[in-house]
Amino acid sequence: MALFHNKYRIESTRLKNWDYARQGAYFITICTKDRIHYFGEIENGKMNYSPIGAIADVLWYEIKNRTNNVELGEFVVMPNHIHGILFLIDNPIVETLHATSLQQLPKPHLQIPTNENMGKISPKKGSVSTIIRSYKSALTKHANRLGLDFLWQSRFHDHIIRDDKSFNNITEYILNNPLTWAADKFNNSHKNTKPC
């Protein structure tokens, strides 16, 4: 196992030997830090967004405008997490930064040192990891800009959707998530649970 700065290396939770830039359908779950209800609350089976919850919803739909190898499936913002389906399609990848202005990008004449080891372990352009990293970063930047209290859980969960039955079950789960919130495993409003 390669170490980072000869000190530590956190093993990836991604499926080994799978190219996450590969065409396919991916079920994504991203939780807030300590499952805090930053995004709003469920009332009568419907999600009532907080300001940061509304931004989380809008920015998800912006993903397809930032990376041209993505189509979006069902998506839901819940009080302390989001669920969504990403379809990576076989297109040339043109990726832009989600919430960073062009003025913040390095100037073309500057030499930016590269680290070959970081290049080997960093996610590929257009991969699930870079798409989610961009989404999480955009939401964090908007929250900071607006002075809103908000933190993400450090990682995210993915599930590679391999067949129609799985796709249909996941789609139904996402659509019904607000209605089943009382029994949801991510609902920590009435019990003591560990973070995602």
Residue with tokens 């009332």: 43
pLDDT in tens, 44-90: 999 999 999 999 999 999 999 988 889 999 999 999 999 999 999 87
Place of tokens 């000190």: 7
Q: Is the pLDDT of residue 93 over 90?
A: no
pLDDT value of residue 2:
56
Cβ atoms 75, 85 nearer than 8 A: yes
The whole-angstrom separation of Cα 42 and Cα 196 is: 19
Per-state percent for the chain, helix, strand, coil, to nearest 5: 30, 20, 45
DSSP annotation string for 127-141: SHHHHHHHHHHHHHH
pLDDT confidence bin for 193, thresholds 50/70/90: very low
**What pLDDT, in 10s, does the model give residues 5-34?**
555 444 445 445 645 577 889 999 999 999
Q: The whole model's pTM is what? A: 0.74
Model pLDDT for residues 127-147, shown as the tens digit of each residue: 889 999 999 999 999 999 999
Which residues, in sequence order, are bridge partners of residue 181?
A: none
CATH number for the segment(s) 24-100+113-183: 3.30.70.1290
Domain boundaries, the chain: 24-100+113-183
| DSSP per position, 46-69 | EEEE-HHHHHHHHHHHHHHHHBTT
Nearest to 128 by CA among 99, 105, 161: 161
With a CB cutoff of 8 Å and minimum separation 6, the contacts of 120 are none
- Angle separating helix axes 128-145 and 51-66, nearest 10 degrees: 140
Report pLDDT for 87. 95
Per-residue pLDDT tens digits for 94-113: 444 554 433 444 444 444 44
- Contact between residue 50 and residue 22 where contact means Cβ atoms under 8 Å apart: no
One-letter amino acid at 133 equals R
Give residue 119's pLDDT: 45
